[in-house]
Structure 1
Amino acid sequence: MSSEPYFNNAGISLLTSLSTDDMKTLPASEEKDRAPFEINNISSANPLVKEYCWQPGYRYVYLANSVLDGLAASKGVTSVMKNQLRAEALFIRAFSTFYLTNLFGAIPLPTTTELTKNLHISRSPSSDAYNAVLSDLLEAQQLFSIDKELSLTKDAYPRSRANYWAATAFLARVYLYLEKWTEAEQQATAVLDQTSLFALSNDLDSVFLANSREVIWQLLPVVKDGRPSGPYDAQLFLQRLNKRPLIHLTESFLETPEPGDQRLVHWVDTAHVWNTNTVYHFANKYQQPNGQDQFHVELRLAELYLIRAEARAHLENLSGAVDDVDMIRRRASLALFKGQSITRDALLQKIAQERRMELFAEGGHRWLDLKRTNQASATLSLIEYKKWQDTDELYPVPQSEIVSNPNLGPQNLGY
């Protein structure tokens, strides 16, 4: 999953950030494929929809299914190893399915590698996709539980393997999206209680380092030409020599931080283009495009605090929610909410703001948050340069895929 800059490995972060109010790219004359995401005017023939989203997502689903089919037929794998590998495959399939349905809505749900079953497969509604995600994650969690610390104690880079805590953390996110607040709180708490394994990093510059204790799951870089390649996030988001960044932060995003927010200091950098008077701000969470000290992070503890805070707020446990949000604010050197009088709705708005600032340029969080909270149209329709329509909440299924398999039709509305 780290061998190319697509899907989970920076690709989704890139495209969905452009679809929101967080980032902009070069003019259409220079970036004809990326620019349409910025103005929410994507064609079903746009190659990035297929190359960055649909195709790699289903490649990971296929590979997971291949492992599952192979394990079912194998007689030479020990039961312990079979459980571990099956759990990892189920986790990867759930992870991929989650993103595919959030990007495209109704999607095909292949569960085998058999060509005859997949060749003319139809799309299933998003509710079925979520049921499949939950089924896979719950089984993976059960299989991982046989040895909860297996991959956190026996590998050189233990957090680069899917494990019990990754499945539990991702379950917390899925339950949050389904508005199952009690379950989201329970799963998040299960991870947050593991203080011997996980802890927020006090140093914002160390959050994304290999084996950071804040990390729950990260991707091991692929070795190329004898050395590990750095995370693609750094290659896509950092400034190019004497040129504006390919992707830069919007004024809207830069107005989000409160005065003194250290995330703006440590996770945002500026580019001064030599032949203009323009200053661009860009995401700087990953600083080593060719290094080996930073790994692409998929799940980290800060998200779990924000998940639990949101769930607790909906459950009317405002003091508990404030405690969780304050964990994030304290690290950012911001004033704490504890002791302040705050309503549930106001607190939920503050949590949304913290999610935007804490999780920007990661995993498509801003895009998915706007959609799941029904704020996409209200927020993005106000931006002058965007050509927003309500149907833009879903990306188009690549037209070439529908041509190859008409059962994938009809196309999503608006395309």
Structure 2
Amino acid sequence: MKIRNMKKMTTMALALCATMGLGGCDMTVPDLNNPGVESIRDNPTRSSVLSATTGLLIGHRNGKGAQNGLISQLGVLGRESYILDTADPRYVSELLSGEHLDPGSPAFGGNFWAGPYLNIRNAHTVLDATEKVTGITEAEKNAIQGFAKTIQALDFLTLILTRDVEGAPIDVNRKLGDDLAPIASKAEVYNHIATLLDDAKTDLLGGGDKFPFKVSAGFTGFDKPASFLKFNRAVRARVAVYMEQWATAQTALDESFLDETGDLDTGVYLVFSGASGDTANGLNSANIYANPALLKNTDGSTREDARLARKTTLADEERKWQGITTNVLFTVYPDNEASLPLIRNEELILLRAEAYMKQENYTEATRLLDIIRTESGNLPPLPEVLSDPKLMEDELLEQRRFSLLFEGHRWIDMRRYNRLEELRLEDPAGVSFKVHHHFPHPVSETDARK
């Protein structure tokens, strides 16, 4: 089932304010057309809780696949892509040329804040409602809570990946008028995400044989508590790697859907639709181009990699704008109904390779990287085990770069390894763009905190 009519089912959830307990959001005027907020909060019914749970998928999807969305902007910051929109030069002048990302710009430096917090708030409403609603079994309650906590963790992950050392509030389930939640540190946010995912695991283990609510087609194969748990563990493995907890990552990967001989595209996806009332995938915008540096090796020779052949193509004409010239287009998202991966088997194999690398098991790390090289890149295996830590790191980042191309990872990976400055090597000839480390807190948030 594609998320086609979910907006209608989740009006009461989406009407909640993202910054309640965070900033100066005014909720004093009730929404007379959509009175469901008070209903699910004060007198939840089985149907309203199930609809709101399904609606969390819409909330998490918002802001991901637009031209100015998360994947697109991270692609620009990671030198994977350019947005050459003559109607809005800020895609270059701010994201690439600007000294800083503008916290007052809701589409750029101030982005990816209110949306995730809105959905986190919606999930809290669902979780609170399950404690008082009648007409659901204990297993159904566990299933709802495990699902909601997992989605919450994903939204918190968006927040901390974009803000990094700036941190973010986590104690946000507060009443309107309460003191603002304090800004938690990066480590505290990651610990909170890990706790949410682990608590969700416990819930899902007691969640029965099926979900009592609908999920989208992007969760095919992961649409029951037991199989959804494998997705939960996959996300937990990613978080453990970001936290540099290598043994924890290996355990989570063992519990995930990782399959070294399986389809590399197996995974969980956000689905889009061009149908009226739904959200289309905007990553196939005519303004989005690939960085031609992707196609060249460091010595200037043409890069031979099957992943590039699958994921890019050449345009009929070059596009020139603000010092950038490119004729390379992405084919990752061929139309406005293309799905966006949340996590795939290919990433899981790379996460396991990284964990082995950090545990100095270079033999296993090399073996896993060879799987990706040969199966995904149609490249020859490495001639020998990479026992030099720097060479192994280079190889890992190289394989992640092309296996996860334009999926929102490159900028984050280079930051994790303190190699952001190397992105300058992929700027156009004669141009040196700025390297941004993280997004700032939006000005509305800092103003509310004075």
TM-score bracket for this pair, using the shorter chain length: 0.7 to 0.9
Which runs of structure 2 are paired with 1:94-133 in the superposition (5 Å)? 94-104=153-163, 105-112=166-173, 114-117=175-178, 120-133=180-193
CA–CA distance in structure 1, aligned partners of residues 142 and 293 of structure 2: 47
Report the residue type matching 1:120 in the other structure. L
Q: CA deviation at 1:139?
A: 0.6
1:22 aligns with 2:80: yes
Match of 1:285 in 2: 332
Instruction: Work out which of the residue numbers 346, 360, 379 in structure 1 matches 2:391.
Output: 346
Distance 1:120 1:193, change over 3 A: closer
Which runs of structure 2 are paired with 1:381-392 in the superposition (5 Å)? 383=427, 385-388=431-434, 392=436
1:167 aligns with 2:232: yes
CA–CA distance in structure 1, aligned partners of residues 354 and 378 of structure 2: 21
Instruction: Work out which of the residue numbers 237, 242, 247 in structure 2 matches 1:177.
Output: 242
Match of 1:65 in 2: 124
Distance 1:138 1:366, change over 3 A: same
Query: Aligned to 1:320, what secondary structure does the other structure show?
Result: helix
Report the residue type matching 1:7 in the other structure. G
Match of 2:199 in 1: 139
Which runs of structure 2 are paired with 1:178-327 in the superposition (5 Å)? 178-192=243-257, 199-201=262-264, 207=265, 214-215=266-267, 217-221=268-272, 224-225=275-276, 230=280, 232=281, 235-238=282-285, 240=286, 246-255=287-296, 259-273=303-317, 280-289=327-336, 291=337, 294-327=338-371
CA–CA distance in structure 2, aligned partners of residues 338 and 189 of structure 1: 28
Match of 1:356 in 2: 401
CA contact (8 A) 1:44 1:399 kept: yes
Q: Which runs of 5+ in 1 are unaligned?
A: 202-206, 208-213, 241-245, 408-415
Instruction: Work out which of the residue numbers 364, 376, 397 in structure 1 matches 2:441.
Output: 397
Report the residue type matching 2:263 in the other structure. L
Q: CA deviation at 1:353?
A: 0.6
Tell which deviates more after alignment, 304-313 or 69-78: 69-78
Distance 1:98 1:229, change over 3 A: closer
CA–CA distance in structure 2, aligned partners of residues 218 and 33 of structure 1: 29
CA contact (8 A) 1:24 1:38 kept: no
Distance 1:107 1:279, change over 3 A: closer
Distance 1:148 1:134, change over 3 A: farther
Q: CA deviation at 1:282?
A: 2.0
CA contact (8 A) 2:353 2:368 kept: yes
CA contact (8 A) 1:218 1:296 kept: yes
Report the residue type matching 1:344 in the other structure. P
CA contact (8 A) 1:17 1:361 kept: yes
CA–CA distance in structure 1, aligned partners of residues 344 and 231 of structure 2: 9
Match of 2:49 in 1: none
Structure of higher CA gyration radius: 2
TM-score, normalised via structure 2 length: 0.74
CA–CA distance in structure 1, aligned partners of residues 254 and 391 of structure 2: 23
Match of 1:7 in 2: 63
| Superposed CA offset, 1:344-380 (max 9, x none) | 3212210101101111210x21111111111113544
CA–CA distance in structure 1, aligned partners of residues 387 and 357 of structure 2: 11
Match of 2:14 in 1: none
Q: CA deviation at 1:315?
A: 0.8
CA–CA distance in structure 2, aligned partners of residues 7 and 263 of structure 1: 26
Q: CA deviation at 1:170?
A: 0.7
CA contact (8 A) 1:148 1:165 kept: no
CA contact (8 A) 2:310 2:331 kept: yes
Query: Aligned to 1:252, what secondary structure does the other structure show?
Result: helix
CA–CA distance in structure 1, aligned partners of residues 318 and 330 of structure 2: 20
Match of 2:20 in 1: none
CA–CA distance in structure 1, aligned partners of residues 294 and 318 of structure 2: 24
CA contact (8 A) 1:87 1:143 kept: yes
CA contact (8 A) 1:24 1:248 kept: yes
Distance 1:324 1:44, change over 3 A: same
Q: CA deviation at 1:155?
A: 6.9
Give % identity.
Answer: 20
TM-score, normalised via structure 1 length: 0.79
1:372 aligns with 2:420: no
Tell which deviates more after alignment, 330-339 or 64-73: 330-339
CA contact (8 A) 2:312 2:331 kept: yes
Tell which deviates more after alignment, 376-385 or 139-148: 376-385
CA RMSD of aligned residues (A): 3.1
Report the residue type matching 1:406 in the other structure. R
Query: Aligned to 2:107, what secondary structure does the other structure show?
Result: helix
Match of 2:51 in 1: none
Report the residue type matching 1:31 in the other structure. D
Distance 1:84 1:374, change over 3 A: same
CA–CA distance in structure 2, aligned partners of residues 139 and 19 of structure 1: 33
Report the residue type matching 1:254 in the other structure. L
CA–CA distance in structure 2, aligned partners of residues 139 and 320 of structure 1: 31
CA–CA distance in structure 1, aligned partners of residues 319 and 353 of structure 2: 46
Query: Aligned to 1:67, what secondary structure does the other structure show?
Result: helix
Distance 1:193 1:130, change over 3 A: closer
CA contact (8 A) 1:2 1:222 kept: no
CA–CA distance in structure 1, aligned partners of residues 149 and 355 of structure 2: 26
Query: Aligned to 1:24, what secondary structure does the other structure show?
Result: strand
